[in-house]
Amino acid sequence: MTQAPRAIRSALSSARMLVNRLSSFAVVAASLAAACSSALPQASAQSDVGPTPAAIAKADSGRPPYTKADVKFLQGMISHHAQAIVMTAMAPTHGARADVRILAERIDVAQRDEIAFMQRWLRERREVVPDPAAKHDMGGQPMSDMDMPGMRMPGMLTPQQMTELSAARGAEFDRLFLTSMIQHHKGALAMVDELFASPGAGQDGAIFRFASDVTADQTTEIDRMMSMLKPR
């Protein structure tokens, strides 16, 4: 099985979902237009913008339209982050040098918080919420495999890479940890790219902000890890 049919299937389903969302938006817009112009008599040159942001937010109960790509991005990213936490947990016990341990601790805190955000977002929308704790084996099958059999999220370490990292100590661990985490972070950036390449995705401000924060933080961290790899 190649990627193409799956990609087409997914694109079609995204498009369908989007059409549904857009038509519901139109209905909302039409039904609200009358009510708000009188409800909000505020001085403004904007008389023709239609429903206010508040009216739209109220109509969709604070849940802006989203696509299947948004959901898959978050579900995949939970599995992706979960592996990073397994990796960072090794630093204190594998003889990592001080700055690597600090970095690992920060990645650990950051990615745990982000997992909490992603789970919250999915839960509030009654989407499937992957449980990162369900995958404690060393780089085994990530949760997203339920959706995409045989495929790991970009940048994730293979079971063999995880075994090598787990076996390494001291300077060798530092080198492997940094190179592996760079690979891992680059995968996250690729996932963000993929999200924004998908029609209608990232229109929910919470997703846009989260994805942009992932890009900003992880690009910065990759840069830092690259400099940490340099001979000192």
Partner 1 sequence: MRFASSALLLVVALSGGTGCSSALLRSPSDSTDLSEFPPNPDPRVGLRAGWWDAGEAIWNLRVVSKTRPSEKFTNPSTPGDSRLTNSDLAFLGNYVFQGNYSGYQVWDISNPAKPTLRTAYVCPGSQSDVSVYRNLLFVSAEATNARTDCGMQGVTDTVSKERARGIRIFDITDVGRPRPLATVQTCRGSHTHTLVTDPRDPANIYVYVSGSAAVRSAGELEGCSALLPEQDPNSALFRIEVIKVPLASPERAAIVSSPRIFNDLAAPAKHGESAADSALAAERARASGRPPRQTFPGRGPTQCHDITAYPAIGLAGGACAGYGFLLDIRDVAHPKRIGAVADSNFSFWHSATFNNDGSKILFSDEWGGGTQPRCRVTDKMQWGADAIFTLSDNTMQFKSYYKMPAAQTSNENCVAHNGTLIPIPGRDVMVQSWYQGGISVFDWTDAANPKEIAYFDRGPMDSTKHVDGGYWSSYWYNGYIVGSEMSRGLDLFELKPSAFITRNEIEAAKLVKFEYFNAQEQPKLVWQPSFVVARAYLDQLRRDDGLPRARTFAVARELEAIEAMGNKRAALIRLSTALDAEALQNADIRRIRLLAATLRNMAKVER
Binding to partner 1, residues 156-215 (CB under 8 A):
158, 161, 179, 182-183, 186-187, 189-190, 192-194, 196-200, 202-206, 208-210, 212-213, 215
| Of the candidate residues 113, 134, 170, 171, the single one contacting partner 1 (CB under 8 A) | 113
Give the range of 84-92, 116-124, 125-133, 137-145 binding partner 1 by CB under 8 A: 116-124
Applying CB under 8 A, among 12, 34, 35, 116 the residue interacting with partner 1 is 116
Q: Is 216 in the site for partner 1 (CB under 8 A)?
A: yes
Q: Is 157 exposed, middle or buried (0-12, 13-18, 19+ CB in 10 A)?
A: buried
Q: Which is nearer to partner 1, 61 or 133 (CB)?
A: 61
For 74, list phi and psi in degrees, rounded to 5: -70, -45
Q: In the set 3, 23, 93, 163, which binds partner 1 (CB under 8 A)? A: 3
- State which residue, 145 or 194, has the beta carbon closest to partner 1: 194
Per CB under 8 A, does 133 bind partner 1?
no
Q: Which of 37, 50, 125, 166 binds partner 1 (CB under 8 A)?
A: 50
Cα distance between residue 187 and residue 83, in whole Å:
12
Q: Which residues contact 135 (CB under 8 A, 6 or more apart)?
A: 79, 82, 83, 141, 142, 143
Total residues interacting with partner 1, rule: CB under 8 A: 80
DSSP state string for 103-128:
HHHHHHHHHHHHHHHHHHHHHHTT--
Instruction: Note whether 69 and 15 are within 8 A (CB).
Output: no
